[in-house]
Structure 1
Amino acid sequence: MTFLVCGEALYDVFVGAPTPTGFALDARIGGSAFNVAVGMARLGMPAGLFAGVGTDALGDGLAAALAAEGVDPALLRRKALRTTLALVALGADGGARYSFYGENAADRALTEADLPPLDGVRALMFGCLSLLTEPTGSSYLALARRARALGPGRPLITLDPNIRPTVEPDMDVWRARVAAFAACADLVKLSAEDLSALHPGVDPAEAARAFLDSGVKLVALTRGGEGATIWGRFGEVRMPAPEVAVVDTVGAGDSFLAALIAALAADGRATPAGLAALDAPRARAALGFAVRAAALTCARRGADLPRRAEVGAGEGEA
């Protein structure tokens, strides 16, 4: 049964040193959903990507990279459109600022006619700019609602908003769409930046309680160098981040989510019922694995997510 990641596949274009005529640019395959799918595959999980991918040379490169990583290509929808570019400027701390160039691009062109059957799908994972870009965003929301309506035995549904104000600066638009997807979700993962953008000044524990009260079963909050926290029926579990020399933070949140789901799946907990019954020791084990995976990604250039042997065992892993 496949973990199906739904969202964009694009190229991160890093802005390098100035040259006499401009800037050096370094283009690398990426996109939040693309990264999560690759991260899942590298951790030994059966993963697929449901995304629009262009038929241009860049789209061919994305499809080839997915195949090389062992990500199931069956649900790629090839479109005779361009491939989105995300211009990445890095700060002194390795933090990334994004500008997106994706009008009329393939990842924004999925319609409800493109939606796949859910037979054999173990989990659906949604997030980032594909929540909003149309018609893709509405198509994904229809898929999430279809999965939620299946009842007992349905797929696990996860949400990682990955707020990108350069795609949509109006936070009310983001709030409405996040709320719509969260109404379907079993697991919601946010970064501290996401939470601050969506709900300025709101205490993280209060925000987590609101999600849990609405029917979400597990809430995860990443805090960069301060580690991460998860909430569930077991209460609250915190985990510090390992110390690493940060190259950049691109893909760190994607690595965290892929590793969290992979750890829960290895423990037999990556189901709606499994999350509902999760206890604190098992939550700590999964969280420990996830923060180590994210730290390894921060120590590398771009979204280069780790393999299971690299993450290894450590504090908090079952």
Structure 2
Amino acid sequence: MAAGRGGTAPGPGRRPRPRPSARHRRPGGVRGRVLRGHRDHRRGADGRRTVPARGCRNQLAGHARTQRDHPQDPKRASALEAAGLQRHRLRSRSLRSVVAVAGEAIVDLVGDPGTATYRARPGGSPANVAVALGRLDLPVRLLARLSGDTFGRMLRAHLEASGVDLSLCVEAGEPTSLAVATLDDAGTAAYDFWVRGTADWLWAADELPDALPDDVVALHTGSLEPGASALEGLLVRERERGRVALCLDPNLRPTLMGEAGAVRRRVERQVGLAHVVRVSEEDLRYSHPDQPYRAVAHRWLDGGPSLVVVTRGGCGAYGATRYVEAERPAMPVEVADTIGAGDAFTAGLLGGLHRRGLLGAGCAAGLAEVDAETLARLLDEANRFAALSLCS
């Protein structure tokens, strides 16, 4: 198989790509003619969705597509991106495609080098992802326990200012969790946590929904323990329902995790529930020492996920499906600090999947048809967004 831009074809041990299902096959017949004849299509529209004219009876009208007639046209969309637009063509305009994020919202106390001064910054991996999604102008809803103390009010204001819907959040009576972050000369953070008896670690079963609202197309979680185990039941229920794309960041912190073997078993179990996994190479060195990141990614793909992405800091990012893989370099930036960079990458990745219609029911089939070129683009887009967080 020919490799795409920055991507590689499947190696000797990879599966051959299956024939496209009818659902993801390029449209033909009347529907294809309707799309090719649309006025925005003739202008080479970039796949954006427009609002149908009032009283228009054609349900396909207003859905431009970058699929042009000539196969060599540089603006011709991949079959996957065209299929993503088709999957959304009949969605009601009143039904927003929401990305839900579940997990902790904590405060980072970041030390100023050379002084005894600490700055309070909103944090927590899931909360960071939710904020980044909001800044990407995606509808996002957070499921978290927010304290009513001073730090909790600061977190709530920060989330709302970024457009995060807090309607699923629990008003907690416990204090806000704190993470004391120490930066080294390269801007890399090491953490000490103050979490005993705090809001994020005291989930009750009746505080979690039996099912997510119907407008949710994806659920991302990357909670620390013990919040991760408490949220696992929600992942199980949503995997059984099959309506929502599940995204996981194992987000390992050795000082909170306990014995490495138990951590590995939990990670393997939760990875098996997810459709998309974003993990850092640093986390893999802790959970799977002496195993190359590519080998771990390929083994995980055999057990449940349809897409695994490994972020490698300044070395870029690696992504793989069951059929193709790609590795892309990081953007060169002057690093202020690395706090939240992985979370920004996750948000950029989810944003790219959302724009291509690869979230929601049937996401596994769509992700299986991602080609190497599209995978490379997804990684590039996420790398660019992460780079913005590094220099801010």
- TM-score where L is the length of structure 1: 0.89
* Structure 1 segment 199-210 matched on structure 2, within 5 A: 199-210=288-299
- 1:148 counterpart (226, 239, 250): 239
Map of 1:119 onto structure 2: 213
Q: CA deviation at 1:273?
A: 2.7
Please say if residues 101 and 143 of structure 2, whose CA atoms lie closer than 8 Å, have aligned partners that are also in contact.
yes
Q: CA deviation at 1:128?
A: 3.8
* Structure 1 segment 53-72 matched on structure 2, within 5 A: 53-72=146-165
What are the superposed Cα offsets for residues 256-307 of structure 1, whole Å, 9 maximum, x if unpaired?
000001011111123333212211111111111001111111112xxxxxxx
What are the superposed Cα offsets for residues 197-217 of structure 1, whole Å, 9 maximum, x if unpaired?
011110111111111100210
- 1:138 counterpart (229, 238, 251): 229
The letter of the residue matching 1:111 is A
The letter of the residue matching 1:145 is V
Map of 1:303 onto structure 2: none
Map of 1:28 onto structure 2: 121
Please say if residues 29 and 62 of structure 1, whose CA atoms lie closer than 8 Å, have aligned partners that are also in contact.
yes
* Structure 1 segment 1-318 matched on structure 2, within 5 A: 1-19=97-115, 23-116=116-209, 117-120=211-214, 121-129=216-224, 132-133=225-226, 136-151=227-242, 154-270=243-359, 271-300=363-392
Q: How far apart are the structure 1 equivalents of 2:136 and 2:263?
A: 31
Larger Rg: 2
**Is the partner of 1:27 in helix, strand or coil?**
strand
Please say if residues 125 and 343 of structure 2, whose CA atoms lie closer than 8 Å, have aligned partners that are also in contact.
yes
The letter of the residue matching 2:364 is P
Please say if residues 14 and 26 of structure 1, whose CA atoms lie closer than 8 Å, have aligned partners that are also in contact.
yes
Q: CA deviation at 1:127?
A: 1.0
Please say if residues 222 and 228 of structure 2, whose CA atoms lie closer than 8 Å, have aligned partners that are also in contact.
no
Please say if residues 233 and 278 of structure 1, whose CA atoms lie closer than 8 Å, have aligned partners that are also in contact.
no
Q: How far apart are the structure 1 equivalents of 2:337 and 2:213?
A: 38
Greater strand percent: which structure?
1
What are the superposed Cα offsets for residues 222-269 of structure 1, whole Å, 9 maximum, x if unpaired?
111110010003321011011100111100000000000101111112
- Count of matched residue pairs: 291
Please say if residues 128 and 164 of structure 1, whose CA atoms lie closer than 8 Å, have aligned partners that are also in contact.
no
Please say if residues 12 and 85 of structure 1, whose CA atoms lie closer than 8 Å, have aligned partners that are also in contact.
yes
Q: How far apart are the structure 2 equivalents of 1:275 and 1:162?
A: 23
Gap runs ≥5 in structure 2? 1-96
Please say if residues 325 and 375 of structure 2, whose CA atoms lie closer than 8 Å, have aligned partners that are also in contact.
no
Map of 2:57 onto structure 1: none
Q: How far apart are the structure 2 equivalents of 1:82 and 1:37?
A: 21
Q: How far apart are the structure 1 equivalents of 2:379 and 2:323?
A: 14
Q: How far apart are the structure 2 equivalents of 1:242 and 1:2?
A: 29
What are the superposed Cα offsets for residues 113-164 of structure 1, whole Å, 9 maximum, x if unpaired?
11123132211111141xx21xx3333100000000113xx10001101110
Q: Which range moves more in the overlay, 186-195 or 59-68? A: 59-68
Q: How far apart are the structure 1 equivalents of 2:384 and 2:323?
A: 22
Gap runs ≥5 in structure 1? 301-318
Q: How far apart are the structure 1 equivalents of 2:323 and 2:391?
A: 32
**Is the partner of 1:58 in helix, strand or coil?**
helix
Q: How far apart are the structure 2 equivalents of 1:24 and 1:283?
A: 43
Q: How far apart are the structure 2 equivalents of 1:119 and 1:12?
A: 31
- TM-score where L is the length of structure 2: 0.72
Percent identity between matched residues is: 39
**Is the partner of 2:241 in helix, strand or coil?**
coil
Q: CA deviation at 1:18?
A: 4.7
Please say if residues 259 and 290 of structure 1, whose CA atoms lie closer than 8 Å, have aligned partners that are also in contact.
yes
What are the superposed Cα offsets for residues 150-193 of structure 1, whole Å, 9 maximum, x if unpaired?
13xx1000110111011124212221221221121001111110
What are the superposed Cα offsets for residues 28-52 of structure 1, whole Å, 9 maximum, x if unpaired?
0111000000011111111011011
